[in-house]
Every structure is written in structure tokens, then in C-alpha cells.
Chains A and B, each alone.
Chain A
Amino acid sequence: EAGVAQSPRYKIIEKRQSVAFWCNPISGHATLYWYQQILGQGPKLLIQFQNNGVVDDSQLPKDRFSAERLKGVDSTLKIQPAKLEDSAVYLCASSGQGMVTDTQYFGPGTRLTVL
């Protein structure tokens, strides 16, 4: 079974530029999550999708971050414009139905450096 795929693996941009990350979850998984992991910290949930609807985006900085999950499969996370403090690893995860008891499966992450 293929795992969660993410691209790119690394990205370096200047502040105020825009950037987009892509995630392809495990086939058949209804729930998709985007996390931000700042160096030295645990992952923090940015947004959770159930199929193509948003379940929780309370910690997403909506003035600069946006995410979509068209057709309930792949997802894209965008930052526009980027700030220095956005430097982090962005992790995508998926789970079967989004129940709290479900295991979340994580992709390898995209490491973003904002200069």
C-alpha cells in the first residue's frame, strides 16, 4: 500500500514570495490533515478535511495561508505572502474516517526555508 506522498521535499523562497505544497493521501482515506512543525516543536494542526469539506481550520493563519482539497483526494496548501516565521516542515497526514481513534499516517513532509 502506497503511503502519503508530498512534494516538493524541500523549498527555499524569499519572504513575501508565495509557495504551494501538494499532498496525495493514502487511497480511500476520507480525512486529510496539514500540520506545521517548527524546529524543536511538535506538529501543530493547521487544517483538517473530511472528504472535501473543512472540519477544523481554527489554527490556520487565513490572511496568508489557504488550503483546498478538490474532489476529496489530493490537497494543496498555499502560503502567500510568506514570512520568515513560516520556516518549518509542513506535514500532511491522512486517516480512514477521521475518528479520534483512527491512526494518522504521515507523509515525509516539505521543509520550507524562508529567507
Chain B
Amino acid sequence: AQSVTQLDSQVPVFEEAPVELRCNYSSSVSVYLFWYVQYPNQGLQLLLKYLSGSTLVKGINGFEAEFNKSQTSFHLRKPSVHIIDTAEYFCAAHSQGAQKLVFGQGTRLTINP
């Protein structure tokens, strides 16, 4: 079964510090992988997605993620965060055998000044 695990429920960091939000997936087939961001009282917005090709994917707002097949991971990174990055971040995946988008439980990123 396809599942997505986000290893940290909350990540506090200081402003302008780097951050990594971890995501692991389980699947016996190739996957398509996504990161979504949810700002307070808003819907989800796509940050980036990996479909094929280069394993380093660049997204909006300075975020990037690296697909690592051997470690079944798709961690999200930003070299320097700002207060406006405070939000909930969701990793999601499709497996090629299913049409369903499966989400992780989310990681709440809080930025301290």
C-alpha cells in the first residue's frame, strides 16, 4: 500500500536559518511526489513536484526537494527561512497503480524571530 510519512510533526527554526522537512514514502512501484503548503485558514498550494528526470526539484518561494529512490525519501529544504514561511507543509504521493493522492500528516513550521 502507498503511504507517506512525515517524520516531524513540528519544526521550530530561527529566522534566516536553513530548514529541512523530512518525508519518506513506501511503495513497490515508481511514484510521483509532491509538497504542498497550507497557510493559516487557507487551502493547500503546490510548492513543487517530482515526476521524473532530475532528482533535485526547485519550487516556489525558494524551496527545493531532493528525490532519493534508495532511501525512499523526498525531503524539502530551504537555505534561509522567513516569518512568512510559517505554515503547515504536506508531503504527498501517487503510486503508478493508483489514481489517489495520499498525504502525510503534515509538518508545522514555525519561525522564531
Tell me whether A and B are bound partners: yes
Indicate whether A41 sits within 8 Å of B105 (C-beta atoms), given known contacts A56-B99, A100-B94, A101-B32: yes
The interface residues of chain A lying within 8 Å CB-to-CB of B51 are 101
CA distance A40 to B106 in the complex (A): 8
CA distance A107 to B43 in the complex (A): 5
The interface residues of chain B lying within 8 Å CB-to-CB of A107 are 43
Q: Verify if B45 is at the interface (C-beta below 8 Å from A).
A: yes
Contact with A along B41-67 (1 / 0, CB 8 A): 111111001010000000000000000
CA distance A106 to B105 in the complex (A): 17
Contact with A along B14-53 (1 / 0, CB 8 A): 0000000000000000001000100001111110010100
B residues touching A (Cβ–Cβ < 8 Å)? Answer: 4, 9, 32, 36, 41-46, 49, 51, 90, 92, 94, 96, 99-101, 103-106
